[in-house]
Amino acid sequence: MKNTAVKNSTMLRGFALLLLGASLAATAVAKASEFKAGVLTPVMAAPEIRLQGTDGKPLTLARFRGKVVLLAFGFSNCGEVCPITLATLAGARKKLGPAAADVQVVYVTVDPERDTEAQMKKYLAVFDPTFIGGVGTRAEIDVAQKSFGISSSKIAGGDGSYTIGHSSSIYMIDRAGGLRAVMPYGHPADDFVHDIKLLLAR
């Protein structure tokens, strides 16, 4: 009689554990689907970048462990995509309030020929003085672009000037340096706030 009771209790515990496991798995799937951005699974470490930061220090992603990093690529002479992206990210930080202290925006140039450290710093400060730009030689920028799958191409203007077509997504990196999500261009600040809160809560 006692043996049967023990067996039943073990079976119940096993069943409860199974239920718990299933519910945790379901929660994980639900969490992934909560993002407004595209989500990468399994989560892998974001590729490291080695550039010069506009804050005067060497720029690596490892510097920002413990913060959520929003990484994007662009250039200061961009007339359309970059100003919208940067204004959106600045708006998202404002909406986050004090939590914005745990969010770092990193903007890497795709135009190292024109974007000097000083030029990029001045440009980013118009949107948010906490934004850090990444500059470097053409070879260094190429390495950073390649590791994040960023394409860019020069489009010549009539007067010898040029503009650059480039990938415009924003990479969302968690506090541990994992590349979690990618927000395609065009999402409003509220979508960033939503996803950043999810990342900050982890």
Q: Which residues bind another protein (CB under 8 A)?
A: 32-33, 35-36, 38-42, 44, 147-149, 151, 167, 169, 171, 182-185
Residue 89 and residue 105: Cα distance in Å, rounded?
8
In angstroms, the Cα distances linking 73 to 9, 105, 131, 180, 198 are 58, 11, 13, 17, 23
Q: How far is the CB of 119 from another protein (least distance, A)?
A: 27
Work out the angle at residue 28's Cα, subtended by the Cα atoms of residues 148 and 171, and round it to the nearest 5 degrees: 20
Say what angle helices 117-127 and 81-96 make with each other, to 10 degrees: 50
Q: How far is the CB of 179 from another protein (least distance, A)?
A: 9
| 102 DSSP assignment | G
Of the pair 15, 185, the CB lying nearest another protein is at 185
Of the pair 38, 66, the CB lying nearest another protein is at 38
Q: How far is the CB of 125 from another protein (least distance, A)?
A: 27
Of the pair 71, 105, the CB lying nearest another protein is at 71
Of the pair 51, 72, the CB lying nearest another protein is at 72
